[in-house]
């Protein structure tokens, strides 16, 4: 009997140890990413329509699996309805000058981590500097990319944390759309209440010359990212000015649009989320 109890104890301890190691690995991966790179470029469609979109869904850090797999068919449907070519890939080797030149817009579909190697990064930066279009969704701005140009010039804000008390909360967003906006925002909802895992940024994209389209009202949710005794220094938000969707025309004619909305797959069934992303894609691809 003693032997049986001992065996059970060992099994339980082993399972706990495996659980702790797995959890530690997930936290490490979400924060730092584990880079895996590709060298062989994918084959693009033989014919590209007038408006073509590269949907890039590679993750080397946290993977928003539900959101990514829900977004792909939603964008495929959008492309069909609007007569775009949509090329969907998780292959970072598509980031080469020749293939990028085929696309009006590159969408980072919850792409996280160091997803591009140096020459691929250089090709993407050159594409944006020559007038390319960028749309980033949620995790694309999560601070795991470890790339100063990407975070400061393209996303425009440094990620701090996301809401954890609780993780998903209903909150009110407000439209910011002035008469000089080049983004087609005039008829978007002026107040929009929805549930999200709310991102908090250490820097305000407004200070980097980005134009918020929606801000989220911190009086309507708790932005704290503290988690028991595991995370104790993230009990803050961005105060009165908390941008959550924004855009910027970049030097050289490139255009960047970022939306921190889209943690869960359900977001890609929301009409308003899809309408905003469609406009982001069309605007960025001009
Ligand atoms: Zn998320």
pTM of the model: 0.92
Tell me the CA–centroid distance for residue 52 and ligand 1, in Å: 27
User: What is the CA(262)–ligand 1 centre distance, in A?
Assistant: 7
> What is the CA(263)–ligand 1 centre distance, in A?
4
Q: pLDDT of 137-157, one tens digit each?
A: 999 999 999 999 999 999 999
Tell me the residue ranges of DSSP E strands in the chain.
Answer: 52-56, 85-89, 105-109, 133-137, 159-162, 168-175, 191-197, 199-201, 211-216, 243-249, 255-259
Question: Class of the 51-284 domain?
Answer: alpha beta
Ligand 1 center–CA 64 separation, angstroms: 6
Which token pair is 196? 């999200």
Q: Indicate whether 179 pLDDT > 90.
A: no
Give the total residue count for the chain: 286
61-81 pLDDT, tens digit per residue, is 999 999 999 999 999 999 999
Confidence class of residue 181 from pLDDT cuts 50, 70 and 90?
confident
Identify the pLDDT of residue 73: 98
Phi, psi of 260 (to 5 degrees): -80, 0
Distance 44 CA to ligand 1 centre (A): 30
Q: What is the pLDDT of residue 21?
A: 79
Rounded to the nearest whole angstrom, what is the distance from the C-alpha of residue 71 to the centroid of ligand 1?
A: 14
* In the chain, where the domains are located: 1-32, 51-284
Q: DSSP states of 202-228 as a string?
A: SS-GGGGT-EEEEEE-GGGS-----BT
Residue 167 has pLDDT above 80, yes or no: yes
Q: In the predicted model, what is the mean pLDDT of the chain?
A: 95
The rounded Å distance from CA 63 to ligand 1 centre is 9
Rounded to the nearest angstrom, the distance between the alpha carbon of 202 and the centre of ligand 1 is 17
So what's the pLDDT on residue 282? Answer: 98
Cα of 40 vs centre of ligand 1, distance in Å, is: 30
Quickly state the pLDDT bin for 88 (edges 50, 70, 90).
Answer: very high
How far does the centroid of ligand 1 lie from the alpha carbon of residue 83, in Å?
30
> What pLDDT was estimated at residue 89?
98
pLDDT per residue as tens digits for the range 234-284: 999 999 999 999 999 999 999 999 999 999 999 999 999 999 999 999 999
Q: Is the pLDDT of residue 223 over 90?
A: yes
Position 119 scores a pLDDT of: 98
pLDDT at 17: 85
Predicted confidence at residue 20, as pLDDT, reads 81
* 259 alpha carbon – ligand 1 mean position (Å): 12
In this predicted model, what pLDDT tens digit does every residue of 2-49 receive, in sequence order? 888 888 888 888 888 888 878 877 777 777 777 899 999 999 999 999
138 C-alpha to ligand 1 centroid (Å): 7
- 3-class SS of residue 13: helix
Tokens standing for residue 28: 């490490």
């Amino acid at each position: 009997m003693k032997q049986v109890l001992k065996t059970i104890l060992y099994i339980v301890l082993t399972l706990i140890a495996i659980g702790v190691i797995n959890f530690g690995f997930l936290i490490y991966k979400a924060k730092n990413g584990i880079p895996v790179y590709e060298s062989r470029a994918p084959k693009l469609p033989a014919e590209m329509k007038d408006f073509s979109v590269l949907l890039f869904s590679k993750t080397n850090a946290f993977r928003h699996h539900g959101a990514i797999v829900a977004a792909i068919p939603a964008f495929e449907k959008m492309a069909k309805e609007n007569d775009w070519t949509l090329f969907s890939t998780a292959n970072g080797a598509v980031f080469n000058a020749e293939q990028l030149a085929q696309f009006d817009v590159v969408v980072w579909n919850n792409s996280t981590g160091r997803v591009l190697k140096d020459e691929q990064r250089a090709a993407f930066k050159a594409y944006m500097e020559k007038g390319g279009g960028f749309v980033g969704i949620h995790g694309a701005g999560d601070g795991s990319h470890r790339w100063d140009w990407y975070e400061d010039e393209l996303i425009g804000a440094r990620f701090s944390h996301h809401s954890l008390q609780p993780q998903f909360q209903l909150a009110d967003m407000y439209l910011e759309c002035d008469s000089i906006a080049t983004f087609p925002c005039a008829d978007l909802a002026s107040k929009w209440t929805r549930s999200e895992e709310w991102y908090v940024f250490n820097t305000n994209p407004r200070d980097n010359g980005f134009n918020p389209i929606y801000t989220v009202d911190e009086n309507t949710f708790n932005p704290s990212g503290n988690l028991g005794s595991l995370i104790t220094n993230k009990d803050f938000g961005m105060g009165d000015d908390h941008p959550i969707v924004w855009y910027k025309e970049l030097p050289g004619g490139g255009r960047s649009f970022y939306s921190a909305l889209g943690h869960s797959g359900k977001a890609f069934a929301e009409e308003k989320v899809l309408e905003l992303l469609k406009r982001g894609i069309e605007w960025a691809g001009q």
